[in-house]
Each structure stands twice: as C-alpha cells, then as structure tokens.
Amino acid sequence: MAGAPDSRIDDYIAALPVWQQEICRIVRRVVHEADPDVEETIKRTRQPYFVLHGNVCALLATRDHVNVFLYDGGLTPDPHGIITGGHGNATGRTIAVYEDRPVDEDALREIFRAVIADNRAGGWRSITKHADPSG
C-alpha cells in the first residue's frame, strides 16, 4: 500500500468473523495492487471505501457473504463472470463473495484497473455522457 492504511478499516475488518476478515483483506490488498495510489476512507458512517479520482469499490459484510460494490456505471467488462448483482444498475454492480469460495484475484484486479482507468478518464458519468450523442 502506497498510502497509509486507514485504521477505521482495520477496525471494521477486525470486528468481522474470521472468514469475512480474510475476504476483506484480500479485496483490500487486490485494490491496492491494481493501483498503489488508491486511498482508503470510511463513508456512510462505517463502510470501507477505496477511492482514486472517484469511488472504485466499497465493502459491506452481510450475514452470509461480503459484498464488493463496484462504482462503474455498468461499464466495466466482466469476462470472468464474477459480478453477481446490479446488472442494469445505473451506478454500479456487486460481487458477492461467500465463505469457502475463493476470490478470483486476477479477475478482481482486472475489474479494479478498468474502474480506475475510467475514473482517471473523468468517471463513468462523464464517459457515458460523452458516448451519448444526445449528450
């Protein structure tokens, strides 16, 4: 991690069951591997967010899985089929990760890199606005 880890995210992860801690630590590591300039923060009172020129992703542990929210406007390709929800959502989609199911780190890193590239290009809202001839 290039930037200092946010201790509030450490606290969020530490309060979870061990299997969810592992998933969150993997996602956290992979998003920083995708781009070392990614910063950590807390939004919505306690939810971990990873940002670089806009939101990249957020974590939310639920009773039986961990949601990785992608802020991509539905633009990011998913050739490995790891996105599980939010298809057709105008803001973002979700990857639900369940206990005893491995995280496809390579596919996740690829998605994070695509979201970050879009953020650096002005963000998905700007990209979709410029792609729409009615503008």
CATH number of the domain residue 20 falls in: 3.90.1150.200
> Using CA atoms, how far apart are residues 118 and 121, in angstroms rounded to an integer?
5
> Using CA atoms, how far apart are residues 128 and 81, in angstroms rounded to an integer?
22
Res. 131: pLDDT tops 90? no
Residue 2 lies in a domain: no
> Using CA atoms, how far apart are residues 25 and 19, in angstroms rounded to an integer?
10
Residue 89 lies in a domain: yes
For residue 33, give its domain range.
7-131
> Using CA atoms, how far apart are residues 31 and 12, in angstroms rounded to an integer?
17
Residue 71 lies in a domain: yes
| pLDDT at 89 (0 to 100) | 85
Please count the structural domains in the chain.
1
Over range 33-54, report the average pLDDT: 95
The set of long-range contacts for 62-66, using a CB threshold of 8 Å and a minimum separation of 24, is 64/98, 64/99, 65/96, 65/97, 65/98, 65/99, 66/20, 66/23, 66/24, 66/27, 66/96, 66/97
Residue 1 lies in a domain: no
Residue 48 lies in a domain: yes
| pLDDT at 129 (0 to 100) | 57
Contacts of 11 (CB under 8 A, 6+ apart): none
pLDDT band, very low/low/confident/very high, at 1 (cuts 50, 70, 90)? very low
